[in-house]
Amino acid sequence: MTIPAAPTRRTALRQLGLGLGGTLGIGLAAVPEMRLLAAQLGDFVLGPPVADVGPRQLSPHVWLVYARDGFPTPENRGLMASIVFVVTAAGVVVLDSGASLQIGEMVIRMIRAVTPKPVVAVFNSHFHGDHWLGNHAFARTFGPDLPIHALPPTIAQIRGTEGSTWRTLMERWTNQATLGTEVVAPNRPVHAGQRFSFGDVTLVMHHHGAAHTTSDLCVQVVEDGLTHVGDIAMANRIANIDDGSYPGTFRYYAALKATLGDQLWVPCHGEPGRDLLDTYGRFLAGIWEPCVQAVKDGRDEATAKAMVLRDPRVAARAKTMAGFDSNIGKYVSLAYLEAEKEAF
């Protein structure tokens, strides 16, 4: 049976006799059948597909579908967080699933370009929607019982208000390019230190307190000397730390390095690197330490910001870091408030 292509929003409205010049309120209110049809069509209105991004092999088992660093826009259709997949003897494991049904579908195409093996598990690093809204594509393709793993607080956040909030935000930011994406929460809780064996590959779960959020999961691919770090570190972007902690991030980095030693650290934003935690940690310290000093000296937040901007660790990244000008004030404010809290 041939399944017709899903209509766009414009096509669906035209089929209802509700083109751009139509009177939506009168037409649907007057005819109950039209209201029902509109609701049914809404279930099938999808945003456009996402263009293929060829996967790059990082290690013997690990592949990266790289997203250019940035923020969700109509142009990138929400593809702003990289997706990693691990090809094992037991099947494919996905580390973060992307920001939409459409992105997840693209990643599935890329997996099939590498291997015919099915996806047997997904791991979500945290509750920000660019990392898990793609769960919908994997559950739809590989079954609703597909194991999708995350820390318990992440599961609770996605099942709560964060799930629907992030779906709505992604639609808004992309001019509805992610339409059709449904909230599919993780269904398997994990804990720090837990080990998973997938044939020839072992994955180990790591969590060391608040960093980017209060529940950041890092996944170590033992045999490859590689660790997926989600958003606790970024190559060339200021990480959203509204839900996290500056000193918590430094403690997290120290714990990872003490536990794992030399690794290829793979972020969701930016290029992987063995020095990623060090280079990004220096940048964050250039924000945090001046704010701590300003609080100790009884100086206000504006003075703290000036101190941060003069710090060579920050100044060196100011012209090249994505979103620097629009975000540095906010993250100085967060650091200053946390420094005040730590001081008292």
Q: Is the pLDDT of residue 341 over 80?
A: yes
Q: How many residues does the chain have?
A: 344
**Structure confidence at residue 37 (pLDDT):** 52
Q: Side-chain half-sphere of 326: how many Cα atoms within 13 Å?
A: 7
Q: Give the tens place of pLDDT for each residue, 223-234.
A: 999 999 999 999
pLDDT at 69: 65
pTM for this model (two decimals): 0.87
Is residue 77 within a helix (H) or strand (E), and if so which, with residue range?
none
pLDDT of residue 31: 53
Among 224, 218, 230, CA closest to 259: 218
Q: Interior CA angle at 341 toward 336 and 344, to 5°? A: 125
Residues 100-156: pLDDT tens digits? Answer: 999 999 999 999 999 999 999 999 999 999 999 999 999 999 999 999 999 999 999
Q: What is the pLDDT at residue 240?
A: 81
**pLDDT score of 220 more than 80:** yes
Quick: pLDDT tens for 47-93.
Answer: 999 999 999 999 999 999 999 867 899 999 999 999 999 999 999 99
The amino acid sitting at 77 is R
Instruction: Tell me the domains of the chain and their CATH numbers.
Output: 9-42 (no CATH), 56-274 (3.60.15.10), 283-343 (no CATH)
pLDDT single digits (tens) 268-321 = 999 999 999 999 999 999 999 999 999 999 999 999 999 999 999 999 999 899
Q: Three-state DSSP class for 273?
A: strand
Question: What is the DSSP-derived secondary structure letter of residue 237?
Answer: B
Nearest to 119 by CA among 98, 267, 68: 98
The pLDDT of residue 60:
98
* Average confidence score pLDDT of the chain: 89
In the block, tokens 């909230």 appear at 183
**What does DSSP assign to residue 50?**
P
Q: Is the pLDDT of residue 38 over 90?
A: no
- Residue 165 predicted with pLDDT over 60: yes
| pLDDT tens-digit series, residues 6-24 | 444 444 434 433 333 333 3
What digits encode the pLDDT tens for the residues 168-195?
999 999 999 999 999 999 999 999 999 9
pLDDT over 80 (residue 252): yes
